[in-house]
Amino acid sequence: EVKENSPMGTFIANLTILGDPVTQSVRVCLSGNAANWLYLEGKAIRLNVSTGRQLDREAMESPVLLATLTCTEEASIPQVQYKVVIAVVDENDNRPQFHGDLIPVQNISELTAVNTIVFTIQAEERDGDILFYSIDSTRGEQRDKRGSRELTVKFCLLQANAKYFRIDLPNSGQIVLAEPLDYETNPELELVIFAEEMYTKERFNTSVMVKIRVLDGDDQYPQFLPCSFL
């Protein structure tokens, strides 16, 4: 096994052969598709990488390196070949990202019933880690404390908007309406949604701002205007 992003010369395995490939007649060489990722140093197999060429498990067609090790003692003796199988171990080197740079505006009618799934949002994590989603304006406030009144008002609005929505299944990304919307009171809302790795040590996370446009519905009764005496 070898971890992705390992440096040049990382030790992989020792060859259990009799004789010294350097000073004696034993000849050892590597061949095959993955042979360019490896080199021999005496009886040791080491990783061959460079600054612009690193092992990246997510970019590889297969997470396994296959090479052939050929051993020859003399020209008259048949060659002996062994398969070298190296598994590239994944590291948590990718942060979650929401799909696309801009999340489209979500249009939701004010007549939408409470407990309805109003939209779904998904983030991507190239390492395949499980993500969980949350609506939490206080975390955003902790990340950007500048002592500004404008920011304080902004985060208060985000906290007020968060009460209208909830996430029942943390790893689903489904946003559920928690309280009735009112076009006449709040025609537009902004919501901060976080995606965070669930089972990793680093717990990498990201956030996105979602704008919500509340659509007007027929929820008002007609009423007579007050009379003015002449």
Domains observed in the chain: 2-89 (2.60.40.3430), 97-215 (2.60.40.60)
Residue 212, pLDDT > 90, answer yes
Whole-structure pTM over 0.95, yes or no? Answer: no
**CA–CA dist 57, 217 (Å, integer):** 51
Q: What is the CA 92 to chain-centroid distance, rounded? A: 9
Across 36-48, average pLDDT: 91
Residue 167, pLDDT > 90, answer yes
Q: How many CB atoms lie within 10 A of CB 171?
A: 12
Pair 34, 63: CB distance under 8 Å? no
Give pLDDT tens digits for 46-98. 999 988 888 888 888 888 999 999 888 766 567 788 889 999 888 888 889 88
Across 27-35, average pLDDT: 88
What is the residue whose two structure tokens read 């680093």? 202
Pair 65, 29: CB distance under 8 Å? no
Residue 20 has a pLDDT of 59
Residue 75 has a pLDDT of 62
Residue 98 has a pLDDT of 87
Give pLDDT tens digits for 98-114. 876 567 899 999 999 99
157: enclosing H helix or E strand: helix 149-162
Amino acid, single-letter form, for residue 155: F
Measured in degrees and rounded to the nearest 5, phi and psi for residue 40 equal -100, 135
Lowest mean pLDDT among 21-35, 87-101, 167-181: 21-35
**CA–CA dist 182, 165 (Å, integer):** 13
Q: How many CB atoms lie within 10 A of CB 79?
A: 11
